Amino acid sequence: MTNDTQSTEQTDGFHLVIDALKLNGIDTIFALPGIPITDLTRKAQAEGMRMISFRHEQHAGNAAAAAGFLTQKPGICLTVSAPGFLNGLTALANATTNCFPMILISGSSEREIVDLQQGDYEEMDQLAIAKPLCKAAYRVLHAEDIGVGVARAIRSALSGRPGGVYLDLPAKLFAQTMDAAAGKRSLIKVVDPAPRQIPAPDSVQRALDLLKGAKRPLIVLGKGAAYAQADAEIRALIEKTGIPYLPMSMAKGLLPDTHTQSASATRSYVLAEADVVMLVGARLNWLLSHGKGKTWGGPNAATRQFIQIDISPTEMDSNVPIAAPLVGDIGSCVSALLAGIGSNWAKPPADWTQGIAERKDKNLTKMAATLAQNPATMNFHSALNVIRNAVKARPDAIVVNEGANTLDFARSIVDMYEPRKRLDVGTWGIMGIGMGFAVAAAVTTGKPVIAIEGDSAFGFSGMEVETICRYNLPVCVIVFNNNGIYKGTDVNPRGGDVAPTVFVKNARYEMMMQAFGGVGVLANTPDELAKALDQAVASGRPTLINAIIDETAGTESGRITSLNPQSSAKK
């Protein structure tokens, strides 16, 4: 019945995209269907990929970014053309800013029509728009190039400094057919996408010499160190040298926050007093006051020297001179330092470590007293004390955190015990990562997720509680409901509309989760919050706890009030 031509098995663009991703160990896609990628989502699911479908592309994109951070594989976000692409773009740019590997794959309209601006359905030159906002951007026009396109996207996302990559797939590509065997041969399994980058021996020696001569050394761990998954080596470096360390927000838990060498509880003291600072996967950006100014004041300001471990050579000297740049991947750099340190490394002078310990004790005692208070209306401290205890009991739970006061207080109050268990607003301090990150954390790890959300922050991604319910994910969202952005107390001096930072009073956020079959709880007291949170973590059921917080308790912009420009005009 068949002749030669008919018996040749064919494949098409849809299947080649799926096969290329699968060949490279990618098993999950975060997506929002529509023309031209609806069938791609269906077929990927039919081919055994986990397809997590969202209500807005930004959250699918944020999920992909978080999955990339957690797994060291690029998270995949799949969107439709123009508006869907643009909705995903914020997440792509944010992932790039945070050095998280992700690939935004968007369907696009017909090139011939787009390039002549003839007004195609969802017309947009997506490649050109994506380019400045990510690490690399590619477009595939022919089915036989899909393998190369996916391989280039994966390698670009993962190699060197990780980041976001855009992959443009025009609608016409999906239906293109080719011989199946040739199609298979055209796919590329990327070998060693993030090759080790061994630091030069003389740069290792330079760093060791500097560290050895330090009287007041300090190590700062950043989220690059968390991403690198060199947990044992980093712990060994800290413990063998005895050097006090500060974890940046998402590096918390790399060593338990209760570690004796953690200087978190006396951060401003160590930043101002340290004479040699070693940065491990942390940039001297605004989050570290650019390495200068008042934060870095104190007697050693003029003579302080920095050692910086980073995979990106051009990160060095970006804000202040780096006396000992150590360019390479964190695992290799830290191993090389460990080899040079040997077994008889002299611990830092006792006046430094004891001075830190004393200040730490004092601050921790003060904090314990504050946490023990039980005001009539919950405040950030009394509510976060409950979550602090819950995370202590379940150190494997992943904490997602956004907001202003809700973020800043949670970061300092909720101790983390394991690496990569804290996901937050990152380098931009961006609102809206909450539900996307929570979905990704649950999907990629299967662990309980506790999302600590300011009421404003939650609003950016709140509709994704339906996604959480639909996939029955073990996510407990806790909305810190203080009736607004920073506070709920602002008033419009003219009357009429409410002030711009104020929301509907006493909003019943828990009913949003109930609407989709999840558990919703209103918590007015720490006991009510504790009970609901314990149940949520134990049951794994999608839960939203509406935690009522004193609307006067917050401050403008949390801890970064000073970044607000001040008006000099009288009115």
- What are the residues binding ligand ADP (CB under 6 A)? 98-99, 161-162, 222-224, 227-228, 248, 250-251, 281-283, 285, 287, 310-312, 315, 329-330, 427
Q: Name 544's bridge partners.
A: 477, 520
CA distance 52 to 45: 9
- Let me know: does 221 contact 251? Beta carbons within 8 Å: yes
Check binding of 224 to ligand TPW (CB under 6 A).
Answer: no
Tell me the closest approach of the beta carbon of residue 284 to ligand TPW, in angstroms.
21
Tell me the closest approach of the beta carbon of residue 507 to Mg ion, in angstroms.
11
Taking CB under 6 A as the criterion, the residue among 102, 254, 431, 519 binding ligand TPW is: 431
- List own/partner pairs for 501-504 with CB under 8 A and 24 or more apart: 503/455, 503/456
Q: Which amino acid is at 76?
A: I
What DSSP element (H or E) covers 104?
strand 102-108
CA distance 196 to 559: 38
Position closest to ligand ADP via CB:
224
Tell me the closest approach of the beta carbon of residue 121 to ligand ADP, in angstroms.
38
What DSSP element (H or E) covers 317?
none
Binding mask 428-467 for Mg ion (x = CB under 5 A): --------------------------xx------------
Residue 222 contact partner, candidates ligand TPW, ligand ADP, Mg ion, none, CB within 5 to 8 A by sort of partner: ligand ADP
Q: Which amino acid is at 307?
A: I
Query: Which of 168/455 has CB closer to Mg ion?
Result: 455
Binding mask 344-383 for ligand TPW (x = CB under 6 A): ----------------------------------------
Whole-Å CA distances, 310 to 322, 368, 386, 468: 11, 36, 37, 36
CA distance 434 to 54: 13
Residue 310 contact partner, candidates ligand TPW, ligand ADP, Mg ion, none, CB within 5 to 8 A by sort of partner: ligand ADP
Tell me the closest approach of the beta carbon of residue 385 to Mg ion, in angstroms.
18
- Let me know: does 183 contact 144? Beta carbons within 8 Å: yes
Q: Return the CA Rg of the chain.
A: 25
Check binding of 436 to ligand TPW (CB under 6 A).
Answer: no
Q: Give me the helix-helix angle, 38-46 and 13-23, nearest 10°.
A: 50
Query: Which of 176/285 has CB closer to ligand ADP?
Result: 285
By CB under 6 A, the count of residues binding ligand TPW is 18
Query: Which of 253/454 has CB closer to Mg ion?
Result: 454
| Residue whose token pair is 């053309």 | 81
Closest CA to 454 of 433, 473, 472, 426: 433
Check binding of 58 to ligand TPW (CB under 6 A).
Answer: no
Taking CB under 6 A as the criterion, the residue among 264, 405, 467, 543 binding ligand TPW is: 405
Closest CA to 390 of 419, 414, 424, 422: 414
Stretch that binds ligand TPW, among 48-56, 228-236, 363-371, 477-485 (CB under 6 A): 477-485
Binding mask 481-500 for ligand TPW (x = CB under 6 A): -x--xx--------------
Query: CA 463 from chain center: how many Å?
Result: 20
Within 437-456, the residues that bind ligand TPW by CB under 6 A are 454-456
CA distance 199 to 203: 7
Q: Which amino acid is at 83?
A: P
Residue 429 contact partner, candidates Mg ion, ligand TPW, ligand ADP, none, CB within 5 to 8 A by sort of partner: ligand TPW
Return residues touching ligand TPW (CB under 6 A): 403-406, 429-432, 454-457, 480, 482, 485-486, 554, 558
Applying CB under 5 A, the residues found at the interface with Mg ion are: 454-455, 482
